[in-house]
Amino acid sequence: MRVAKLFRKTMFGIFLLFGLIALSTSALCVYTVDRQLSVEYEANSRAIAQTIANSSMDIILNRDLSTLQSLIDQFKEIQGIKYVYIANEDGEILAHTFVPGVPKEILRGGPMKLETVQRRIPGFGEFIEVSSPILDGIAGSVHVGMDKGLIALKIQTAIGQQVYLISMIFIVSVVGSFLLVNLAAKPLVRLGGYATQLAAPAAPATITAEDVQALLERNDEVGQLARLVRHLSARDAARTAE
């Protein structure tokens, strides 16, 4: 009973500690991964948009738009790129990768805006959209949408891995602390049994003679206490005899 009580207190302490670790590291992880990935994705999208913009000049000016469509279709296969569209200088979308069609949010937003925008399109997702002008904007612009859902997925994966690791350490800690608490409590239980035996010699023994011998021979605090209890009991017995 005493062991369980001691163990419960230890467990509570471990829970508290691990909870704090899990919460603080997860928060830090969300912040760091979100910030770094967002910056990285934006940089990648910008590079892709510029690449398409540079490749598109000749196609827009000299060739059929199906070639332009072929070009942007290839970029859509890159992980994280959810959509690409190219607008002419009047804002008319000349090629895009949207299915089932260009979302109203994009048509309404005006395709010629060249700053980075965060888009939330119902039924489609959340995106970081970066743009690049073609021929300094006089031939139109390229717009690349990176899926923010992918960032969220990566954050979830990172947190999941972290929680998994902390859980494993937690389980090992619980088992370890149980063994350690048990190891520390066992001699105390024997000491209690020895003290009871000395106080009431007529009662049934809860400790064997070998355990008593082992207890008295210990070099630690439990051994010292056992020897003190034996001394006090002997002195008490001597006084009673006098």
Partner 1 sequence: MRIALLGLAPALVLSSALLGAQEGVTDQQIVVGMSAPFKGASRSLGIELYRGSMAYLSEVNRTGGVHGRRVVLKAYDDGYQPDQAIKNTLKLMLEDRVFLLFDYVGTPTVTRVLPLLKKYDKLHFRLFFPFTGAQPQREPPYDRLAVNLRASYRQETAGLVDNFVAIGRSRIAVFYQADAYGRSGWVGVREALASHDLKIVGEATYARGTKYTESLDRQVAMLQEVRPDAIISVGAYAACAAFVRDARKAGLAVPIANVSFVGSESMLELLVAASKADGHDYTVNLVNSQVVPSYENPNVPVVKEYLTLMDKYQPAPPAGLADADYKPLRHSFVSLEGFLNAKLLVEVLRRMGAHPERAKIAETVATIDGFELGMGRPISFAAQRNQGSDAIYYTTVEDGRFVPIRDWKVWTK
CA 195 centroid distance within chain: 51
Position among 1, 79, 90, 100 found at the interface with partner 1 (CB under 8 A):
100
Using the minimum distance from each CB to partner 1, give the nearer residue, 97 or 177.
97
Task: Indicate the SS3 state at residue 49.
Answer: helix
Find the shortest distance in angstroms from Cβ 134 to partner 1. 17
Between 50 and 89, how does the x/- string for binding to partner 1 read (CB under 8 A)? Answer: -------------xxxxxxxx--x----------------
Using the minimum distance from each CB to partner 1, give the nearer residue, 63 or 120.
63
Distances (CA, A) of 228 to 160, 188, 217: 54, 14, 12
Q: Does 7 bind partner 1 (CB under 8 A)?
A: no
Using the minimum distance from each CB to partner 1, give the nearer residue, 69 or 173.
69
Per the CB < 8 A criterion, the answer to whether 74 and 89 are in contact is no
| CA angle at 83 for the pair 161 and 128, rounded to the nearest 5° | 60
Report how far residue 11's alpha carbon sits from residue 9's, in angstroms, rounded to the nearest whole number: 5
Q: Does 173 bind partner 1 (CB under 8 A)?
A: no
Candidates 49-57, 90-98, 147-155, 187-195: pick the segment binding partner 1 (CB under 8 A). Answer: 90-98
Using the minimum distance from each CB to partner 1, give the nearer residue, 72 or 128.
72
Q: Does 102 bind partner 1 (CB under 8 A)?
A: yes
Task: Indicate the SS3 state at residue 120.
Answer: strand
Candidates 45-53, 92-100, 112-120, 212-220: pick the segment binding partner 1 (CB under 8 A). Answer: 92-100
Find the shortest distance in angstroms from Cβ 98 to partner 1. 6
Distances (CA, A) of 26 to 130, 148, 159, 205, 237: 29, 19, 6, 54, 63
Q: Does 98 bind partner 1 (CB under 8 A)?
A: yes
Distances (CA, A) of 143 to 17, 24, 30, 92: 47, 37, 27, 13
Selection from 157, 152, 134 nearest residue 87 by Cα: 134
Using the minimum distance from each CB to partner 1, give the nearer residue, 92 or 217.
92
Size of the site for partner 1 (CB under 8 A): 16
Find the shortest distance in angstroms from Cβ 141 to partner 1. 18
Task: Indicate the SS3 state at residue 233.
Answer: helix
Q: Does 99 bind partner 1 (CB under 8 A)?
A: yes
Per the CB < 8 A criterion, the answer to whether 97 and 19 are in contact is no
- Binding residues (CB under 8 A) for partner 1: these are 63-70, 73, 95, 97-102
